[in-house]
A = this chain, B = another copy of it.
Amino acid sequence: MSQNLPIDLSELERIVQAENSNIEISQLHSFLYAAAAAPQRPDNDLIFDTLLPKRSKALNTLLVETRDAIRDSIQRNILRPEKTADRLSSLRSEMTTQKVDGFIIPLNDEFHGEAAPAASERLKWLTGFTGSAGMAAVLKDKAAIFVDGRYTLQVRQEVDIEQFTPRHVSDEPLSAWLEENMTAGECLSYDPWLHTENSINALSSLCVKMGVVLKASDKNSIDQVWEDRPKEPLALIVPHLDEFSGKNSAEKRDEIAGILEASGSDAVVHTLPDVIAWLLNIRGADLPSTPFALGFAITHRDSTVDLYMPQQKFSSDLRSHLGNAVRVHNRSEFSAGLAALADKKIRIDPSVTSQWIVTQLQAADAVIVRGDDPCMLPKATKNIVEIDGTRAAHIRDGAAITKFLHWLSVEAPKGTVTELSAEAKLRSFREMGDRFKDVSFSTISGAGANGAIVHYRATEKTNKTLDKGNLYLVDSGGQYLDGTTDITRTVAIGTPTDEMRERFTLVLKGHIALGEAVFPVGTTGSQLDTLARAPLWKYGLDYDHGTGHGVGSYLSVHEGPQRISKMPSAVPLKPGMILSNEPGYYKTGEYGIRIENLVTVVSQPKRKGAERDVLEFETLTFAPLDHTLIDLSLLSPSEISWINSYHQAVHDKISPLVDGDVKDWLVSATKAL
């Protein structure tokens, strides 16, 4: 291990040894670099309790500052597109050493979740690409990067295209590029931790066709040449209390064991971090905006669990929280854990399980049963404690949004508010709320034309002022101990144009139609998607994203299997599922509009004459919609009545949490139309 980052640790070493003479310097270094590999979150300071439970305030401050400096240094060191040629050259040397002619570099890590820690940012390290989806392939004298339609412009700005030819992932796929550029007899290598069985099956057929040898590599070629590669993130793992989870882990494990029993399986291998967090009622801080601890787990038919996660990260009360039915192991024991499943029937989810795991199970002669992780549906259908917590979190979140919208109404007309300053202000309002842990995703703070970029993230380079006569779109959320929020509001700065009001009102009509939907048990989200689009369609308009995604309970802001989308879905909506309702409209180069509330599915009491059991949505999000953007002439009486009832509820729920000018502003912002 070489950690040559330019941080001077001598002062810190001195104080640590003065206060705790039994700490070795190498142990301190190792700890700090691992802690720095976890993202910046308020929670993450707690990890120092595991190394130095007793420490002076001064030492604590120095520890935090040092770790944060190392983190910045790590991040700067990963993203160095100017080094792409050098890094690519080292990679090719390593490929020669390994006697392979090609290597594939996906963006994901071995857990196949939405985000990955610094140590797994191999694609970013090699190419400088910062998008959320992509893959690179390197041959002896050619290399290419494959991205989707969202990133065709960005990839050319970020990546050295002399080294990596940018290609559209579906129009000019990896398979075609490999066929063009590899010849029979060559060897293509991949890291089996980073690819699922599905993707390897496709690649394998292609290689057979080309006469190319496909080789699972023991050693990731990038890791071999990545100097100062970050360590696995070290962040505290704490119990998630029953008062928030509503069901203890033993009950959950029994439920999953019951599903295994019913389907005739002996065990299931879990890889998704939110599944493991839900199942064991634990929360970590290894990744940004999501309270996950990275690791693997195996649930057995007898309700016991093998958890592969370093105990070094455990809070002092976690071991007893987990109980005896959860056996804790280091990551290095996972292989033996899989080997012990010999001859058993093992369930895996092929869309999120590494080929490495599949190969281990096959070597053990396990019978592999493919299907969704059995935790997915129980996790998605929240219990009453989770729903109550989410309701409460949304009211605190709504107060933060209300304070922010009031602040915006005062400051923005002065012409001094920027996307970044607004984002920071909004965060500060959220941080005032009880049980706030972090934002639930990177805020989308988009003024004018930037609002039309669906996955926009403001940077110093792109930062715009909120100008009068234009719109401001802000999509943000919070992670609270009792729930996860996600809300989008679109606000007129000054006086909006008639076109803006027309389009906002059409989006609002779709939002209301979906929010008011009543539908029979068994209905899927794809059956409801059209309700949100139909008003835009009448005007020859639409939006190019889904209408709603699932949301977790102090877990990921994006979760399945529920969703509202034009893509076919086989998953019926069930009571307790939380989804977003977020139609939009985007005028490229001018402005963006999105209106997003979270909703939860509830059973509707049977009305007189009703013959079917029907469901509806309860709105969870409470914050004002901008009156000045509503064109009343486009609304039906029942739509106006929906807006008025909604605003009345916003007033009644939020008003007790705000004071003075904000309270007054809230009254006028929610008055009946």
The residue that A540 contacts in the complex, of B538, B568, B607, B636, with Cβ under 8 A, is: B607
Check if A414 is an interface residue, CB within 8 A of chain B.
no
Check if A141 is an interface residue, CB within 8 A of chain B.
no
User: A607: which B residues are within 8 A, CB to CB?
Assistant: 539-540
Q: Is the CB of B527 within 8 A of A612?
A: no
Q: Residue of B at shortest CB range from A517? A: B534
List CB contacts (< 8 Å) of A364-397 with chain B.
Answer: none
Given A499-B609, A568-B568, A612-B542, A518 and B530 contact (CB-CB distance below 8 Å) = no
The distance from the CB of A520 to the nearest CB of chain B, in whole angstroms, is 5
Q: What bracket does the count of chain A residues touching chain B fall in?
A: 20 to 34
Q: Is the CB of A612 within 8 A of B518?
A: no
Q: Quick one: copies of this chain in the complex? A: 2
User: A542: which B residues are within 8 A, CB to CB?
Assistant: 520, 611-612
Check if A526 is an interface residue, CB within 8 A of chain B.
yes
The distance from the CB of A370 to the nearest CB of chain B, in whole angstroms, is 16
Q: Is the CB of A520 within 8 A of B499?
A: no
Contact with B along A592-628 (1 / 0, CB 8 A): 0000000000001011011111100000000000000
The distance from the CB of A584 to the nearest CB of chain B, in whole angstroms, is 13
A566 CA to B568 CA in the complex, in Å?
10
User: A570: which B residues are within 8 A, CB to CB?
Assistant: 568
Given A568-B568, A636-B636, A610 and B530 contact (CB-CB distance below 8 Å) = no
A570 CA to B568 CA in the complex, in Å?
9
A249 CA to B610 CA in the complex, in Å?
53
List CB contacts (< 8 Å) of A531-567 with chain B.
Answer: 531, 534, 537-542, 566
Q: Is the CB of B537 within 8 A of A519?
A: yes
Check if A528 is an interface residue, CB within 8 A of chain B.
yes
User: A568: which B residues are within 8 A, CB to CB?
Assistant: 526, 568-570
Contact with B along A501-536 (1 / 0, CB 8 A): 010000000000000011110010011111100100
Given A517-B534, A534-B517, A611 and B527 contact (CB-CB distance below 8 Å) = no
A198 CA to B538 CA in the complex, in Å?
41
Q: Is the CB of B537 within 8 A of A518?
A: yes
The residue that A610 contacts in the complex, of B502, B531, B539, B614, with Cβ under 8 A, is: B539
The distance from the CB of A409 to the nearest CB of chain B, in whole angstroms, is 29
Residues of A at the B interface (CB closer than 8 Å) are: 499, 502, 517-520, 523, 526-531, 534, 537-542, 566, 568-570, 604, 606-607, 609-614, 636
- 5 CB-based A-B contacts, threshold 8 Å: A519-B537, A530-B531, A541-B612, A542-B612, A636-B636
